[in-house]
Amino acid sequence: MISAEFIAVIVIAYILGNISPSTILAKRRGMDIKHEGSGNAGTTNTLRVLGVHAALITLVVDIGKGVLAVMLARWICPAAVMYCALAAFLGHVFPVFLKFKGGKGVAVAFGVLLAMNWKLALAAFGVVAVVVVLTRRVSPGSIAIAVVFPLLVYWMEPDFFYLSIIMALIVFFKHWSNLMRLIHGEEKPITASWFKKR
């Protein structure tokens, strides 16, 4: 039987996912992050548009809200932990308070994994890091983990397998435009100019 606590923590997790630090930071500078750079409200575009400091804040908050969503569920209603992980992710990617236009979900996904199974989170991070270093581009790392993620989950956290497929598919299709640019050799590499203070 689904309890009130079960529903409540899932709703809270989704609302937490709606928090968009990049949107807030951009507005403080008189900008709309969705109309700057790639138009994405995530860490990479924040780095490109607003600089290192804003990008670090965005990354920490996006990871943190994923961690918090899972920890609250573990404290209030352990049966809802996996669903809260998905809810926080969906809240980030499809935030109702931002007309369902959010980020691509990689950072918050890392956050929920970190709270659920830190070994799985580190394995996922390792995949992303290796691909980013080899290609000097962020999007191939995100696409790679979208492909590998369900396999890692099946091996290390099998109860989360079916929900992980949903997350992986969303991350993959949110990066579809990046994939097309990669195929056509148009995806820009990471450059030193991204790290200049703004």
For residue range 110-158, what is the model confidence (pLDDT) as tens digits? 999 999 999 999 999 999 999 999 999 999 999 999 999 999 999 999 9
Please give the structure tokens belonging to residue 69. Answer: 């969503």
DSSP letters spanning 97-116: GGTT----SHHHHHHHHHHH
Give the range among 1-10, 87-96, 117-126, 149-158 with minimum mean pLDDT.
1-10
pTM of the full structure? 0.93
Asked if residue 195 has pLDDT above 80, the reply is: no
Greatest distance between any 2 Cα atoms in the chain? 54
**Cα–Cα distance, 148 to 168 (Å, whole number):** 8
For residue range 55-66, what is the model confidence (pLDDT) as tens digits? 999 999 999 999
**Cα–Cα distance, 93 to 112 (Å, whole number):** 14
